[in-house]
């Protein structure tokens, strides 16, 4: 009898998890931000989330620590997935990375926040920037 109860609870938990994953949706994102630094860097910018036919303005802020030198302007666009409402995009997206841009260079990145939202972005970075750092980018709806 206790085994049957445990199996029933496990079945209900799996069914609930499957239903919540089935309701997850995706949207598109456009971001524009400026990054500058000398060992410690910062970034700020704005963007737009398009989700279920509506546009939501986004503000961007971030910090990086490591070998960071220079300044750049970055334009990214792509997809956000695994969200059920627009506010799921809010939070801190962390990354460790290395890269460099002299004048102009392509960028591509995939990030996940604490709510499970997945950003898959690509675009262009212009400026002079060399980095080997840990960074975090915070997104918030305005």
Catalogue all structural domains in the chain, each as residue range(s) with its CATH number: 26-141 (2.40.128)
What is the rounded distance in angstroms from the CA atom of residue 58 to the CA atom of residue 85?
14
pLDDT at position 80: 96
Helix (H) / strand (E) element for 52: namely none
Looking at residue 110, its pLDDT comes to 84
Q: Which residue has the tokens 């997809």?
A: 79
Tokens of 104: 């102009």
DSSP track, 72-141: EEEEEEEEEEEESSGGGG-EEEEEEEEEEEEEEEEEEEEEE-TT--EEEEEEEEEEEEEEEEEEEEEEEE
Between 74 and 17, residue with greater pLDDT: 74
Query: What pLDDT was estimated at residue 139?
Result: 94
**pLDDT score of 57:** 98
pLDDT band at 50 (very low <50, low <70, confident <90, very high): very high
Q: What is the pLDDT of residues 53-108, one digit of tens each?
A: 999 999 999 888 777 788 889 899 999 999 999 999 999 987 655 556 667 777 77
Predicted TM-score (pTM) of the model is 0.75
pLDDT at site 102: 66
pLDDT band at 4 (very low <50, low <70, confident <90, very high): low
Of 52 and 111, more confident: 52
Check residue 93 and give its pLDDT.
86
Distance from C-alpha of 67 to C-alpha of 131, rounded to nearest angstrom: 5
pLDDT at position 100: 60
pLDDT (tens digit per residue) in 105-130: 777 788 889 999 999 888 888 888 77
């Amino acid at each position: 009898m206790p085994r049957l109860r445990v199996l029933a609870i496990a079945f209900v938990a799996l069914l609930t998890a499957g239903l919540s994953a089935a309701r997850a949706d995706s949207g598109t994102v456009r971001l524009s931000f400026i990054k500058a630094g000398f060992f410690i860097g910062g970034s700020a910018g704005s963007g737009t989330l398009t989700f279920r036919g509506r546009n939501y303005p986004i503000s961007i802020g971030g910090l990086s620590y490591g070998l960071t030198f220079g300044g750049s302007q970055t334009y990214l666009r792509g997809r956000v997935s695994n969200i059920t409402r627009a506010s799921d995009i809010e939070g801190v997206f962390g990354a460790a990375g290395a890269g460099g841009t002299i004048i102009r260079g392509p960028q591509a990145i995939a990030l996940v926040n604490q709510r499970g939202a997945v950003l898959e972005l690509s675009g262009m970075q212009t400026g002079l920037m060399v980095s080997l750092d840990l960074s975090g980018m915070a997104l918030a709806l305005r």
